[in-house]
Amino acid sequence: MRRPAGVVVAAVVLGLMALVAILGTIVSLVASMVMHPPVTIPGFRVIMVVFNLVALGFFGFCGWTVVGLFKMRRWARVSIVVIGALDFAVCAIAGFGTLAVRHMVPVMPPPPPGMAQPGPDLSILPMIFELMAAFYFFLALIGVWWLVYFNLPSVRAAFSGANLMVTNPDILPPGGAAAFPIVAEAGTPGWRIVIIVWACLMLLGVLSLPLVLVMHIPFFLFGAVVTGSRELLVLVLMGVIELVMGIGLIRKWKAAWYVALFWQIYTIAYSLSMFLPGMGARFLATEEQIMAQNSPAGAPPFPIATFFHGPFFAICFGFGLAIVAFFTVALFKRKEDYLGADSA
């Protein structure tokens, strides 16, 4: 019995969500350990570290569920149903809670007559809360999809194996019958699953490139701030590379393997360049300028250099190198998928 396409799509979606959540949780965990806590509540740092460790364990289990789905394991079907229920409950509560906060925004007292409003303009806050609520409800719908889809009889049968009733008298004794399970096709190797999820992440990354142009965000490239037509050329080239990688790694194109290897070398070189003297300070200064240009009128500048200081900055880029190394290992582990069995 072939693996249903819906299972593959659900596994990829869960993999992308787990990957993004793991990255965000690790950054939050590092920040909890090396940054000064924003509040003076006793034990706040310990609470945040424990919370992030628990969240990291849960999202890691979600990643393991993705592997189980590709391998058509029965426990993985039950697992994603439970994850879908938790996703629906948490995101639905968050969505309605965000809408409740949104309705509190218009009743905030305006500044006295003749006095300028301190800080940023609050007129866009209702729209921001509505967009946040819509995002939470979208995630809740994904949970509903998993709850319904993985409880369909056909999907349950795909994981448990359908029964074939044999009644041929030439095979069995007269009047006898027996049921034999039809086992699902062999599962996808774990490193192949890593590559598929990574490829889908590259395809999502292509969608963010037009946003960079619309918001007129300059591109920081090895210490140079690229803008205008040069930036457009760089972003188009990056978009083509990510498209080739995203589609090619899924379809097992030979050229995609070489393009992906080149992309890994570029990413490693870019991350290492941030450790050159003065490079980090210049990068943070550029980010502060970008935020100042896109902040509401009158909003105080956000001190990025103060927030991303010392070990936190180094840990972030060091962690980025570890991620690149992980996906590079995946490329070489499944090298035969793209270059043939002789290359293994």
Q: Which pLDDT does position 259 carry in this prediction?
A: 93
For residue 328, give the nearest of 267, 271, 270, 273 by alpha carbon: 267
Tell me if 269 sits within 8 A of 332, measured CB to CB. Answer: no
The predicted model scores a pTM of: 0.62
What phi, psi does 73 have (nearest 5°)? -85, 140
> Tokens 């999202």 — which residue?
59
Tell me: pLDDT of 267 over 80: yes
Between residues 292 and 252, the one the model is more confident about: 252
* Cα 113 → chain centroid: 47
What is the rounded distance in angstroms from the CA atom of residue 16 to the CA atom of residue 139? 13
Q: Which pLDDT does position 141 carry in this prediction?
A: 92
What is the rounded distance in angstroms from the CA atom of residue 331 to the CA atom of residue 249? 9
Between residues 213 and 86, the one the model is more confident about: 86
Q: Encode pLDDT of 87-120 as tens digits.
A: 998 888 888 888 877 776 555 455 555 544 444 4
Between residues 33 and 118, the one the model is more confident about: 33
Rounded alpha-carbon distances, angstroms, from residue 311 to 6, 195, 315:
43, 30, 6
For residue 287, give the nearest of 262, 323, 316, 264 by alpha carbon: 316
Q: Which pLDDT does position 40 carry in this prediction?
A: 59
Structure tokens at 29: 């965990």
**Burial of 65 per CB tally in 10 Å (0-12, 13-18, 19+):** buried
What is the rounded distance in angstroms from the CA atom of residue 85 to the CA atom of residue 317? 35
Q: Which pLDDT does position 104 carry in this prediction?
A: 64
Q: Encode pLDDT of 225-262 as tens digits.
A: 888 888 888 888 988 999 999 999 988 999 999 999 99
Q: Which pLDDT does position 221 carry in this prediction?
A: 82
E-only strand ranges, the chain: 162-166, 178-182, 219-221, 224-226
